Structure 1
Amino acid sequence: MSDKLTTEISQTTETEIRWRGQDLMTDILGKRDFAETMYLLMTGRFPEPWERQIFDACLITLMEHGLTPHAIVSRLVADSNPDQLQIAMASGLTCVGDVFAGTMEGCGRLLQEGLAADDKAQWCHDTATAYRQERRPLPGFGHPQHKPDDPRTPRLFQVAREAGATGHAIGLLEEFGTAVDTVYGRHLTINATGAIGALLLEVGIQPEIMRAIAVTSRAAGLTAHIAEEQKTRSGRRIWTLVENEFAYTGP
């Protein structure tokens, strides 16, 4: 075994740039789109047409969702560092996590476990019961705004099935959702990140890298918020509004 550091992702010479063995100029530029090329860099191959369609839908879905913490943080930092927009972008992206936009990773792991179970119905019941009894947040379920259901979820499932996904992960998530409602005694929506966790499994993306898809997606939306911030200068007004809303209660 060689001690030499290696990479399979890219190679650059005086006359060539190759990504995963593909020539950037002749094989990619003008021939492949962003989703296909990102998938190539991640997996080592171009996606099949049905995989590309599903992967692209996942990238689009989490791109923008209004004045979320990601957008607010980016606007505030852009106001503080108007000439360093990369700092504003990076600051907003740190909000992608276990609460906002990043729970497809946890849902993907759950579904992987369920797909390996012999008795999937029993797995659904037991897993929902365990989360309920332990009062743990259920990744991929619930939404503070979209009630009773997240409108993005059924559309994502429809896109994936029409594109040609096997539907194994999607079907399990739907079955799990039914078990969750039964165990919890109320309806919990499957949110967009839960749906994306299932879709990414359908196209061969492992849970360990799923959150990076959300980061890539949300970066595009934050670009729009920073561009608008440059015109409206809302960050200073947000700061003033928050400051005025707080009342001092100390000694």
Structure 2
Amino acid sequence: MTDDHTFPTSLGTSDADTIMLMGHNVATDLMGKVGFGELAFWMVAQRRPTAGEVRLFEAVLVSLADHGFTPTAIAARMTYYSAPDSIQGAIAAGLLGGGSRFLGVTEDTGGFLHRVLADLSDDTTGWSEDRWDALALDVVTRTKAAGQFVPGIGHPVHKNGDPRVPVIFSIADEEAVLGPHLKLFAAIGRAHHQVLGRSLPLNGAGVAGAALADLGLPVTMLRGFSLLARTAGLVGQIAEEQRTPIAPAIYNAVDRNATFVAPEPAN
């Protein structure tokens, strides 16, 4: 009995002599000729990005790679301490912490902006800053009235401004890829205080989501790019843990200072 099933793919295939990726020979067409960031963009978007798009995309990846001893980094280091024979487990532990508070904001912001723009009937090409501000004010007002939060604003550390934000805007402008998602995000930064009663900085994860959405990448994949960037950071964290470990001190500090508290009686 023959099996005539086929499994279509636009990505990788191979035979005894060649490895093909997106219709190109990996050995002769891609290796040494295509950067890793460009390749990652190409594989997801199914189109080769321009040089300007690559510059913005890779700037976003760099901005998300590492941010110090975040929970994701600590989780990776602690897992490596527990299972040094399983580096993949340590990396996975760090990636599993990429959620609504860390890394997931990129996806949340890109999706939020994308939904707002998708609901517009007007072409935003040529909109003035005042018109963007009016849209942003309406969006923030409606979001607050619904009891929801606008993603991408505020930061627990960079309360006076996230240093990554102006760089992303500048690169996007220089490369002529500053689109409606970034313009709306900038307008939210200018207008939100009128509704919230306080000024919060735009954060790096949020501007990353806006930039990735402007590059035409699927908003459902934006967290994937955050995780791709953070993977590099986690590899660096584990390498440093091998050289100068801190996980034993974290473990001892928590374990030796654990205090028993009797549970309260159930009602």
Give the TM-score of the pair, scaled to structure 2. 0.88
- Structure 2 residue 66 is matched with structure 1 residue 64: yes
Which residue is 1:74 aligned to? Answer: 76
Which residue is 2:89 aligned to? Answer: 87
Looking at structure 1, the residues matched to 178 and 70 of structure 2 have their Cα atoms a distance apart, in angstroms, of 34
Match for residue 229 of structure 1 among 241, 244, 251: 241
Q: Is there any run of 5+ residues in structure 2 with no aligned partner, and where? A: 123-130
- Structure 2 residue 154 is matched with structure 1 residue 142: yes
Shift of residue 72, structure 1, vs aligned partner = 0.5
- Structure 2 residue 207 is matched with structure 1 residue 205: no
Question: Letter of the aligned partner of 1:84 in structure 2?
Answer: S
Shift of residue 172, structure 1, vs aligned partner = 1.2
Which residue is 1:249 aligned to? Answer: 261
Instruction: Decide whether the 8 Å contact of 2:178 with 2:214 is kept in 1.
Output: yes
**Structure 1 counterpart SS, 2:13:** strand
Which residue is 2:40 aligned to? Answer: 38
Looking at structure 2, the residues matched to 137 and 245 of structure 1 have their Cα atoms a distance apart, in angstroms, of 36
Q: Summarize the alignment of residues 52-201 of structure 1 with structure 2, pairs less than 5 Å apart.
A: 52-116=54-118, 117=120, 118=122, 121-201=133-213
Looking at structure 2, the residues matched to 147 and 129 of structure 1 have their Cα atoms a distance apart, in angstroms, of 22
Looking at structure 2, the residues matched to 233 and 171 of structure 1 have their Cα atoms a distance apart, in angstroms, of 43
Shift of residue 245, structure 1, vs aligned partner = 4.0
Larger radius of gyration: 2
Looking at structure 1, the residues matched to 133 and 207 of structure 2 have their Cα atoms a distance apart, in angstroms, of 19
Shift of residue 225, structure 1, vs aligned partner = 0.9
Change in 2 beyond 3 A, CA 1:154/1:166: closer
**Structure 2 counterpart SS, 1:103:** helix
Looking at structure 2, the residues matched to 228 and 199 of structure 1 have their Cα atoms a distance apart, in angstroms, of 31
Instruction: Decide whether the 8 Å contact of 2:133 with 2:190 is kept in 1.
Output: no
Shift of residue 115, structure 1, vs aligned partner = 2.4
1:56-76: CA deviations, max 9, x gaps? 111111101000001100111
Please, what is the CA RMSD of the aligned residues? 1.8
Looking at structure 1, the residues matched to 85 and 152 of structure 2 have their Cα atoms a distance apart, in angstroms, of 37
Sequence identity, in percent?
A: 34
1:188-231: CA deviations, max 9, x gaps? 11111110111112211121000000001001011111111112
Which residue is 2:128 aligned to? Answer: none
> Which stretch shows the higher mean deviation, 112-121 or 238-247?
112-121
Looking at structure 1, the residues matched to 194 and 24 of structure 2 have their Cα atoms a distance apart, in angstroms, of 50
Change in 2 beyond 3 A, CA 1:122/1:114: farther
Question: Letter of the aligned partner of 1:82 in structure 2?
Answer: P
Shift of residue 233, structure 1, vs aligned partner = 2.8
Instruction: Decide whether the 8 Å contact of 1:114 with 1:120 is kept in 2.
Output: no
Runs of 4+ in 1 over 3 A off after TM superposition: 118-123
Shift of residue 134, structure 1, vs aligned partner = 4.0
1:229-251: CA deviations, max 9, x gaps? 11223212111112244432216
Looking at structure 1, the residues matched to 145 and 117 of structure 2 have their Cα atoms a distance apart, in angstroms, of 23
Instruction: Decide whether the 8 Å contact of 1:114 with 1:124 is kept in 2.
Output: no
Looking at structure 1, the residues matched to 199 and 257 of structure 2 have their Cα atoms a distance apart, in angstroms, of 34
Question: Letter of the aligned partner of 1:203 in structure 2?
Answer: L
1:113-141: CA deviations, max 9, x gaps? 23232475554223212332344332211
Instruction: Decide whether the 8 Å contact of 2:132 with 2:183 is kept in 1.
Output: no
**Structure 2 counterpart SS, 1:189:** coil
Instruction: Decide whether the 8 Å contact of 1:140 with 1:191 is kept in 2.
Output: yes
**Structure 1 counterpart SS, 2:104:** coil
Looking at structure 1, the residues matched to 178 and 156 of structure 2 have their Cα atoms a distance apart, in angstroms, of 31
